[in-house]
Every structure is written in structure tokens, then in C-alpha cells.
């Protein structure tokens, strides 16, 4: 998965949809976060989003990754 480092900020992940960020890339990010949360024995996660049209798609990817 190739996501530019400049897309990662201290407080969020940004990118142009679908060129830089899409559901599959967000799923991979969700998997990585899920592993980190699991290793730290964190059991609760909140996934937030804004009201842009693509937010539902990218959020869905993160949630799929977290649950996998």
C-alpha cells in the first residue's frame, strides 16, 4: 500500500479521494491500528468522520480493518 507520508498528520490522515485515500487503503490503516490497539490491550475505539460524501466509504474501510 502506497500512502504518501505527507498524508499522515498528528491528529488525522488526509488525502485526495480516491487518488491517495480509498476504502482499501483505509482498511489497511485500520488493520495496523487494530494490531496496535490489541497489543496495548485497548478494547474500545471511536471512529469519527465528517459529512463529505466519501467519508462513509473511507470510514467503512477503517472499521473493516479494525474488526479484522
pLDDT in tens, 3-17: 888 888 988 888 899
- Give the chain's end-to-end CA distance (angstroms, integer): 17
pTM: 0.86
pLDDT digit string (tens) for 21-68? Answer: 999 999 999 999 999 999 999 999 999 999 999 999 999 999 999 999
Q: What are phi and psi of 27, to 5 degrees?
A: -65, -40
pLDDT digit string (tens) for 33-43? Answer: 999 999 999 99
How distant, in Å, are the alpha carbons of 17, 19, 56 from that of 38?
29, 30, 24
Q: CA-to-CA distance for 14 and 59, rounded, in angstroms?
A: 13
Amino acid at each position: 500500500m502506497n500512502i504518501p507520508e505527507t498524508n499522515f498528520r498528528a491528529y488525522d490522515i488526509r488525502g485526495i479521494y480516491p487518488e491517495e485515500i480509498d476504502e482499501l487503503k483505509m482498511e489497511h490503516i485500520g488493520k495496523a491500528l487494530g494490531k496496535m490497539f490489541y497489543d496495548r490491550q485497548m478494547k474500545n475505539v471511536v471512529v469519527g468522520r465528517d459529512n463529505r460524501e466519501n467519508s462513509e466509504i473511507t470510514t467503512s474501510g477503517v472499521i473493516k480493518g479494525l474488526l479484522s
